[in-house]
């Protein structure tokens, strides 16, 4: 199984509780299901700052600055679906779509 984590919103040191949740979710998924392939989709700030997502199987840069809300939304609505499809198919994910992904998606609560 291959799971993609949308961390486009995350600006390290600024996102607060959502950042803590993302870090703990990654650790819990790794501990509970080491057999799952995990890919993190991160913005430019998160890629530069680094974090627990660097321990995953793949880290894909979504080329936006999440501090800018317009870029963040564009990253999630336009760029992320295309990058997720490429990651799922095994093709290059370093190149920057439709609003509805053509792959399974879900949320946590």
pLDDT tens digit sequence for 30-83: 999 999 999 999 999 999 999 999 989 999 999 999 999 999 999 999 999 999
Residue entry with tokens 């609003």: 99
Q: Is the pLDDT of residue 100 over 90?
A: no
**Its pTM surpasses 0.85:** no
**In this predicted structure, what is the pLDDT of residue 97?**
36
Does residue 102 contact residue 81 with C-beta atoms inside 8 Å? yes
CB 50 within 8 A of CB 15: no
* pLDDT at residue 87 is higher than 50: yes
Residues 6+ apart with CB under 8 A from 5: 22, 25, 26, 38, 39, 40, 41, 53, 56
Rounded to whole angstroms, the Cα distance separating 65 from 15 reads 13
């Amino acid at each position: 199984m291959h799971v993609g984590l949308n961390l486009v919103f995350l600006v390290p040191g600024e996102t607060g509780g959502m950042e803590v949740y993302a870090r703990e979710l990654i650790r819990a998924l790794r501990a509970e299901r080491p057999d799952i392939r995990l890919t993190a989709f991160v913005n430019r700030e998160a890629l530069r700052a680094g974090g627990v997502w660097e321990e995953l199987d793949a880290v894909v840069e979504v080329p936006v600055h999440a501090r800018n809300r317009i870029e963040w939304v564009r990253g999630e609505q336009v760029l992320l679906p295309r990058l997720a499809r490429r990651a799922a198919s095994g093709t290059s994910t370093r190149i920057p779509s439709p609003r509805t992904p053509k792959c399974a998606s879900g949320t946590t609560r």
